Structure formats: structure tokens, C-alpha cells
Structure 1
Amino acid sequence: MRKSADLFLFQLMLLLCALWGLQQVAIKLAAADIVPLLQVTLRSAIAAVLVGALLLWQGSWRGWLGSTWRGGLLAGTLFALEFFFIAQGLQYTSASHMAVFLYTAPIFSALGLALLLPSERLHRLQWLGVALCFAGIVLAFGGDGDWAELNRQMLLGDGLALLAGLSWGLTTVVVRGSRLSEAPPTLTLFYQLLVSFVLLLGYALASGPLAPISWTPVSISSLLLQAVVVSFLSYLAWYWLLRRYLASNLAVFSFMTPLFGVTFGVLILQESLSLAFVLGAALVMLGILLVSQHAWLRNRLQHWRAASN
């Protein structure tokens, strides 16, 4: 039986969300030494080796390859697109903007699952969340109304960040709608990492020289953070928590991630935030909360109403 939230869960989720929020900042910080596209390619390669070694040791992949490889290829392709858009988008927009727009993924996965599975149809509270989220996107995209060249570039980067969120959301749809939903989570993660490495490497080689490449403490630390800490250790910790705690509790805590991303962007990269973006980001996160946690929120509202009568 899965447990409800406790102090240990809060502490571990605080650490995980901080790591996930730091990821885009780390890519941006090391961009002067290694271009973002090469960073995410190497990240997938290193993490695929680590996850593959774990799979071989566990033996949990046996009997699953024949029924999951098609879904694995599709999920891996979408995973590659997600990180391609992240890498390209960070060349134009800030890590703070990327952190917010990337985490629109639950909105796209909810819409996709509602179309694919009748049991996943959206309720009124969720449709309100979708509307708030897209209103927030429009407001955040509007910026401060100054359409200088710099803001046009940021608009392009924000659009790529939104495409990354769409790719992530569709990955969730593929996993939920295929045999991957029943397969070991480490196998699904391995598919995503391996396929994304192959596709990103192919694009990187075809697109020309990926200079500069400078192995500095910043670039090495960024790669280790992305590959070992985030893509390997933090995901394993997440799957471990999913087996022991209620998924709704985990999802609520995960909303801290974009907040950490924005905070680290401001503190580490000295990024500035316009009032329009702050208000838009607040609407986006409120919308995501309504879509993802509508059942929990509805139960809480019913409890408060009963207690007040």
C-alpha cells in the first residue's frame, strides 16, 4: 500500500525538484564551453550506458523487448525532440523562461490522453486549467511590448521551449498508450536515452562542427549533473518514490521544479524577469495544477464545504 506524504518525501522531493530546476541553468551556464546540442547528446550517451548497465544487472528487460520496441522507438524519438528543442531554445531564451514553458508538458499529455483514452476525458476544472495555462502562455509571450531584436529572439526561444513541453507531453501519451506502461521503468528510460543519443548525434554530425569544445570545470560539472545526477540517479529516486508514495502527492510536490528553475536562473545567471512573464508564469502553473490535480482539489473543496456547514 502506498503511503501519503511525510517529512522524508518532502525533503527528497525538495532535493529532486531543485536538481531538475537546475538542469536548464547548467546547460546555459556551460554553453560558452560546449554548445547545448552537444551537451544534451553527451548527456544521453553517458546516462544510457549507466541505465543499460543497471538493466543488465537487474535482468528486468528480458521478455519485454518484443512487445515494447515500437513504443520505445517512438518515445525515444519524442525524447530526442524534447532535448533538441531545449538545446536550441536555450540559445535564444533564458533558462527561467525554459523552466516554465517546458513544464507545460502535463497540459499536452492531458489533452493527448483525453483524445486517445475515453477514461482520461477532461473534467470542467481541468478545462479551466487548460484555459488558464494558455492564457498565461499568451501573456508571458507578450513580454513588455518592446519588440526589439532581442525580444524577437527570446520569443523564438520561448516557442522552442513550448515545443519541448509538447514533445515531453506526447512522450507521456506514448508511454501510457503502449506496452511501455507495464514495462519496467528503467527499460522505458533506456529506450529514451539510447534513441535520443543516436538521433541527436546524427543531427549534430550532419549540422557541421560543434565548436567550441572546452573541457573546463564548468562544462564537466554540467555534464556530470545532467547525465549522472539528473538522468540517472534522480530518475531512479523518482521511480522508487512512485512505488512507495501516492502519485498525487508526488505530482503536487513536483510543481516546485519550475520555481527552482526561475530562481536559479535569476540567482546564477542574473536573468531578469518582466512583470508580464511573472504573471503569465503564475497562470501557467495554476493551470497545470488544476489539470494535474483536479481530483485532489475537488476533494479538498468538498471537505472544506462539509466542514463549514
Structure 2
Amino acid sequence: MTSERHRQALLAAMPILFVALWSTGFIGAKFGLPHAEPFTFLFVRFVLTLALLVPLAHWISGEWPQGVRLWGHIAVSGLLVHGAYLGGVFYGIYQGMPAGLAALLVGLQPLLTAGLAGPLLGERLSRLQWLGLVMGLVGIAMVLGGKLDPGEMLFQGFGLGALASIMVALVGISLGTLYQKRFCTGMPLLSGTVVQYLGAGTLLGLGALLFETREIDWAPTFLLTLAWLVLVLSISAILLLMALIKRGEASRVASLFYLVPPVTALEAWWLFDERLPPLSLVGMAIAIAGVVLVVRSGPQSRSR
């Protein structure tokens, strides 16, 4: 009876554990970027991840995407969901963006996805979703307003370049989510992730080759961070997500994603003493509430 209770407690904790692990990606960027440039860092991460994930995918399922066309669609979704998203986040943090603020901005992905779903997928927003969109915009304006520091960099510790990088990440994962929903419906999760990582790794490797020195300081901090991002985030979190989907818990994970920004902000405050002013904290709460409204209200079919 006791073991059954422990099992049920573990199963109930799995979605929260997944979100907690996901939030550490922003912290890992903060730890690792002093030792390697962002595209180089991510390229090494993807190479190591693929070295482990390819045999794992073959061993666990052995199911691979069918047809060159589907492989191409999955690779494109990987360019957007992983390449543009992670490349933009890591470059933004590399340019001085606080990890908690970066997590909040890209955490607006459900808002942008909902706004794009109308013209692209034939879905229309409910009144509550429109309210959520407005709240998200107001919240972000308050967050950025609290960080304003008119001068050489415009914001406290970062400039427009960092903000533009995070916007690239936000647009990338939003378009990638819609693209995957439209063109990758037959994608096996584990082997499909392999194909996505191949596409993203190619893009980031090209970025490192063209724009970076590709020098790496193989310090213990970098090695430990790299191991965490590969083994815990890119491998364990994906396997955990597979287990959740198998149990029908994917929607619960989606609803918990809005907890990632505050969790990341707390981690960044504890580890790096990153602080948000009161106006930004209030704005974060409003923006997260807007995301909750959009996610919980759900899409509606467009009337013809």
C-alpha cells in the first residue's frame, strides 16, 4: 500500500518536475556562456545530444519518420523550434538579458501562437483570449518599463540587440509550433526530435562557423553545465515528456508552462542575484495571467 502511494505521488509530481527541469535551460545558458559563444555552445550541445539520442531512439521505439517529405518538414520545424528559439535565447542572454526576463518574454509564445493561428490555421480567438493577449502586452510593457535605463544600452544591463534576439526566439518557436502542427502530424516523438536536432544543429553550426571564433574554455563549470543540458534537459526531459504524453498528461504540462518564467526568475535571483524592480514583477504577474487566459480558453473554429 505504501509503495502504491509513493508511485502515485511520483506520477503526480512528474509534470511539475518536467517544468522545473525546463526552467534550468535558461540558468544553464547563464552558467555556460562565459566559457563559449552562444552558437558554438549550442552546436556542441546538439552534437553530444545526438550521439546519445540516436541509439536511444533506435532502442526504445525503432520507429522513424516515413518519407523524405516528412523528414524535410520535421527538419524545418527543428530549425524554428530549436534553432531559432535556443539560438535567440542564448544570444540574448549572452548580450546581457537577465535569464528571468528572457524566460518571461519567450514564455509569451502561447499569446503569439494564438494570434497567428487565425490566419494560418483558421482558428479565431474568444473574448477571453483577446483579453489575455491585451494583458500580455500590458504586462510586458510594464516589465520592460521597469528595466528602462535611458542611456547607451537603453535597458539595465542590455540593449536592443538582446531584445531583438529574444524576439527572434519568440517568433521562431511560435511559427515552429504552428508549422509542426500543420505539417508534422505523423512525427514520432523521439526519432522526430532527432531529426529536429539535426536541422537545428546544422543551422547553429553554420552560425558558429560564420560569426564566432569557436573558442571554448573547457573549465569545470562549462563541462558540468554542458553535461546537465545534454543529459538532464535534452535527454531526460524529452523522455519524461514522452512518459507524460503516454499517460495523457500533455495538456497538464502545457498548462504548467506558464510557471517557467517565475521559477526561472527565482533561480536566477538565488544563483546570480538577478533582481526585477517592483513594476517589472507586477508586469510579470499580469503577463503570466494573460498567458493562462489564452491557454485555458482554447481555440475556436472559424465560422464560414
Candidates 110, 134, 146, aligned match of 1:106: 110
Is 1:231 the counterpart of 2:234? The answer is: yes
Question: For the Cα contact (< 8 Å) 2:241–2:250, is it kept in 1?
Answer: no
Cα 1:7–1:107 shift into 2, 3 Å = farther
User: d(CA) in 2 for partners of 1:246 and 1:98?
Assistant: 26
Alignment of 1:141-220 (within 5 A): 141-152=144-155, 154-156=158-160, 157-178=162-183, 180-211=184-215, 213-220=216-223
- How far off is 1:132 after superposition? 0.8
Residue 262 of structure 2: aligned partner: 259
Q: Which amino acid aligns with 2:245?
A: L
Deviates more, 1:141-150 or 1:218-227: 141-150
User: d(CA) in 2 for partners of 1:276 and 1:160?
Assistant: 23
Question: For the Cα contact (< 8 Å) 1:266–1:272, is it kept in 2?
Answer: yes
Question: For the Cα contact (< 8 Å) 2:75–2:200, is it kept in 1?
Answer: no
Candidates 285, 289, 292, aligned match of 2:292: 289
Residue 95 of structure 1: aligned partner: 99
Residue 14 of structure 1: aligned partner: 16
Cα 1:225–1:109 shift into 2, 3 Å = same
Scaled by the length of structure 1, the TM-score of the pair is: 0.86
Question: For the Cα contact (< 8 Å) 1:21–1:259, is it kept in 2?
Answer: no
Alignment of 1:18-97 (within 5 A): 18-57=20-59, 58-61=61-64, 64-78=66-80, 79-91=82-94, 92-97=96-101
Question: For the Cα contact (< 8 Å) 2:37–2:212, is it kept in 1?
Answer: no
- How far off is 1:140 after superposition? 1.4
Alignment of 1:243-282 (within 5 A): 243-282=246-285
SS in 1 for 2:150: coil
Report percent identity of matched pairs: 24
Question: For the Cα contact (< 8 Å) 2:14–2:244, is it kept in 1?
Answer: no
Q: Which amino acid aligns with 2:171?
A: L
Return 5+ residue gaps in structure 1 as ranges. Answer: 1-5, 297-309
CA displacement, residues 224-272 of structure 1 (integer Å, 9 cap, x when unaligned): 1112211111012112201213433222223222221111110001111
Q: Which amino acid aligns with 2:168?
A: L
SS in 2 for 1:93: coil
User: d(CA) in 2 for partners of 1:144 and 1:71?
Assistant: 39
> Number of matched residues?
287
CA displacement, residues 107-141 of structure 1 (integer Å, 9 cap, x when unaligned): 222222222222x3221111111111111122212
User: d(CA) in 1 for partners of 2:147 and 2:252?
Assistant: 36
Cα 1:145–1:88 shift into 2, 3 Å = closer
Q: Which amino acid aligns with 2:173?
A: W
User: d(CA) in 1 for partners of 2:277 and 2:159?
Assistant: 13
CA displacement, residues 95-114 of structure 1 (integer Å, 9 cap, x when unaligned): 11111112111122222222
Cα 1:294–1:7 shift into 2, 3 Å = farther
SS in 2 for 1:154: coil
- How far off is 1:171 after superposition? 1.0
Question: For the Cα contact (< 8 Å) 2:19–2:253, is it kept in 1?
Answer: no
User: d(CA) in 1 for partners of 2:212 and 2:97?
Assistant: 23
Q: Which amino acid aligns with 1:288?
A: V
Deviates more, 1:21-30 or 1:244-253: 244-253
Question: For the Cα contact (< 8 Å) 1:28–1:36, is it kept in 2?
Answer: no
User: d(CA) in 2 for partners of 1:295 and 1:108?
Assistant: 14
- How far off is 1:35 after superposition? 2.4
Return 5+ residue gaps in structure 2 as ranges. Answer: 1-7, 300-304
CA displacement, residues 162-202 of structure 1 (integer Å, 9 cap, x when unaligned): 32122111111011001x12221123311221111111111
User: d(CA) in 1 for partners of 2:141 and 2:69?
Assistant: 41
Cα 1:251–1:17 shift into 2, 3 Å = same
User: d(CA) in 2 for partners of 1:121 and 1:243?
Assistant: 29
- How far off is 1:151 after superposition? 4.1
Deviates more, 1:197-206 or 1:151-160: 151-160
User: d(CA) in 1 for partners of 2:32 and 2:176?
Assistant: 27
Question: For the Cα contact (< 8 Å) 1:141–1:277, is it kept in 2?
Answer: yes
SS in 1 for 2:149: coil
Cα 1:191–1:14 shift into 2, 3 Å = same
Deviates more, 1:201-210 or 1:242-251: 242-251
User: d(CA) in 2 for partners of 1:88 and 1:98?
Assistant: 11
- How far off is 1:27 after superposition? 1.2
* 4+ aligned runs moved over 6 Å, structure 1: none
Q: Which amino acid aligns with 2:211?
A: S
